[in-house]
Structure 1
Amino acid sequence: MNFCRLISLLFTALLAVAEPILAAQWTPSLSTIIQGANKEGKLKLMWGEGTLGGTKGAAKFETMMNKMFGTNIKISFTPGAAMPQMGSQIAAEYAAGQSAASDVYIGADSYLAPLVKHKLFHEIDWPRLLPGRITSEMVEGGRTSLRVYTGLPGIPYNTRRTPNGEAPKSLKDMLKPQWKGKIASTPYVTSLNILAAKEMWGKEAALEYVRQLSKQVVGLIRCNEIERVASGEFLAFVMDCSGSQTFEAQAHGAPVEHVIPVDGAMIRHRMLTVPKNAEHPNAAKLFTAFMLTKEAQKQLWDSDFSDMYMFPESQMGQRVRGAEKQGAKFFVPTVDWVAANPEIDAISEEMVKIMTQK
């Protein structure tokens, strides 16, 4: 037997034992999904370029997932619409008996609540796939929705131009005279609507705050326009969506800081779900579970400056614990909470009118 033939036989033998060795690391439930995902061989993903790293993120996650699970799944990523529009598209496709444009849907609690109500997603025992890593506290919406990363709405401000050198600590600080005419908000009252929850301020106090804040605000911007705070066009922004844009700007040297207001601390989540009309459901389930691994969470922080706060190594978790030491008590709206409090939608509309029609 020549040398090349011997090497070829040895390589074949190694491949034959590699799959059982890899499979032995995983639970029977996950091993079954791995096998099904490998047979499917593909995964379709569609969401905005600013989510989960977009095109580059999908390519990195493909390599990492295949290496971890010994699979050979090709991820096809297509930039898509915003989360609400993608949810509506998948719902329309399901109603028409068509395959979902994306095998995985990512959305926030407010977007997911009506979709979960209409039973558009598979119910999955997520903790059985990665026990000790995925816990029941990470699952929402009747076992359909798995938290993938955390948002910490707060107050980004320009550290070089803070009025009187006083950094804000609370939402009520932003009503002080020195901030008038120097701050921005969003036209869609991001997270300010959640202040109306009975677990926080209640409807009347929240509405009155927005009335007072609108008199302080000089401009309305989107959450991804943090550079307008860094440049000094606005000295602060009340409130942002998640903090991640500020953390990214900080990493690039921008003079901005992010404050979690002690009187308005909340934790928001983006969650992954598998539509019932997913073309590659096993690959979708495997990808979703993979996104909760330590390796994927680290990559998520590198690409999106977000991760899931419930893990001990989490960057967001460090910020949550730091804010708690300063006296913050966090409220965590869930898919079920949104479904049980439909009045928040009407309050949101009222707040938007106050903020945009002043």
Structure 2
Amino acid sequence: KKYGLTTKVNFFPAGQMARDVSKIVGQAASGVPPEWDLAVVTDAHHATLWLKKLHQTFDYASLGVDSRAIDYDKGTITIASQIVLPAYNTKVLPPADVLKRWEDLLDPKWKGGKLGVPDSTHHLARLATGAWGEKKTLEFVKALAMQQPMLGPLGTLTSRLQLGEILIAVTLHDGFINRAKKAGAPLEFAKDIEPVISPALQVGLLKGARHPNAGYLFAAFLMTPEAQVIWEKYTGQGSAFVPGTSAYNFFKGRKVLYMTQDQATVVDRLAREYGRILGFGN
């Protein structure tokens, strides 16, 4: 309606982002066109596609997209800026115990399965790209492993947090917090902690896409205020680069870590290293 077109858009929910990206890479290696025109995955997953040169680039700024939201050599747009912080159950954790700093996670009182660490170790790897640097972050991750945390996927740890089986999720993103709140679960971020980690949910047109022009236009549309309202309605997340969204408002006055394309390979390397240290294996 916005552009006076009759284009039909088909939506395919991601089963598992890493698996879907591997499928795209495998199809490209075999000379098979991708099943989808656009891929909406995190910036960490888009890094794989970027390194494999599997994006079709476009001057999205010419369609009104904020240049700060455009990444990977004009191959992707940040349509949602996730909020990642430690989280807790307000009915289980006393107010006096709510964390004020990332380093508070290393307090001995949290040792022995009271913390939950998700397999999204790229969250912690992003701390190394900011003021902390690699040395401090490595020491932090090693000390965190000594706390003997529970390990698991984000969804599993969210359930454990709701049930009181863990007291703190070391990192959780706002998608899980929002869904839990809608279901009546009293989960909350430790909002005093800085920096806030902000992985990006990005859209990018895939190399060999069957409908490139429609794909470019739809990708840009997702950054319009009206599209962001719809996206937030169903996901609870919005882009930090569109005024009025929840992310835009939350990040005001806060120190935020965004990953740039130049940091992608470092974050990937450190995420693997931290995963081994924490006990996730290879």
Q: CA deviation at 1:190?
A: 4.2
Amino acid at match of 1:355: L
TM-score relative to the length of structure 2: 0.89
How far the C-alpha of 1:126 sits from its partner, in A, is 0.7
1:245 paired residue number: 176
Which blocks of at least 5 consecutive residues in structure 2 are unaligned? none
Please state whether the residue corresponding to 1:336 is helix, strand or coil: helix
- Deviation of 1:188 after TM superposition, in Å, equals 4.2
Query: Could you say which residue in structure 1 is the equivalent of 2:168?
Result: 236
Preserved CA contact (<8 Å) 1:153 1:260: no
Structure-2 residue corresponding to 1:73: 7
Query: Aligned pair 1:353/2:276, yes or no?
Result: yes
Measured in 1, the distance between the counterparts of 2:46 and 2:192 equals 26
3-state SS, counterpart of residue 149 of structure 1: strand
Q: In structure 2, the residue corresponding to 1:74 is in which secondary structure? A: coil
Q: CA deviation at 1:303?
A: 1.1
Counterpart of 2:119 (choices 171, 184, 187) is: 187
**Aligned counterparts of 1:95 and 1:203: Cα–Cα separation in 2:** 34
Residue-by-residue CA offset, 1:308-349 (whole Å, 9 max, x unaligned) = 01222111112111xx3xxx42221122321xxx34434323
Partner in structure 1 of residue 61 of structure 2: 127
Is the alpha carbon distance of 1:288 and 1:164 closer, same or farther for their aligned partners in structure 2, counting shifts above 3 Å? closer
Task: State the AA in 2 paired with 1:103.
Answer: D
Answering whether residue 223 of structure 2 is matched by residue 292 of structure 1, we say yes
Contact 2:238 2:246 in 1 (8 A): yes
Which among 93, 96, 100 is matched to residue 34 of structure 2?
Answer: 100
What is the root-mean-square deviation of aligned Cα atoms in Å? 2.2
The secondary structure found in structure 2 opposite 1:216 is coil
Structure 1 unaligned spans of 5+ = 1-66
Distance 2:169 2:146 in 1: 14
Whole-angstrom distance in 1 between the partners of 2:149 and 2:52 = 40
Q: Is 2:260 the partner of 1:334?
A: yes
Residue identity opposite 2:273 in structure 1: E
Report the Cα distance in structure 2 between the residues aligned to 1:261 and 1:201, rounded to whole angstroms.
17
Distance 2:203 2:53 in 1: 15
Q: Give the Å deviation of 1:96.
A: 3.2
Are the equivalent residues in 1 in contact too, given 2:60–2:70 (CA < 8 A)? yes
Quote how far apart the aligned CAs of 1:83 are. 2.2
Tell whether the 8 Å contact from 2:119 to 2:280 is kept in structure 1 after alignment.
no
- Counterpart selection for 1:151 from 82, 95, 99: 82
CA distance in 1, matches of 2:122, 2:25: 25
Inter-partner Cα distance in structure 2 for 1:349 and 1:357: 9
Alignment-derived partner of residue 138 in structure 1 = 69
**Does 1:312 pair with 2:243?**
yes
Deviation at 1:147, TM superposition (A): 1.0
Shift of 1:267: 2.0
In 2 relative to 1, CA 96–229 (structure 1 residues): closer, same or farther, beyond 3 Å?
same
| 1:262–1:329 contact (8 Å) kept in structure 2 | no
Higher helix share: 1
TM superposition shift of 1:260? 4.5
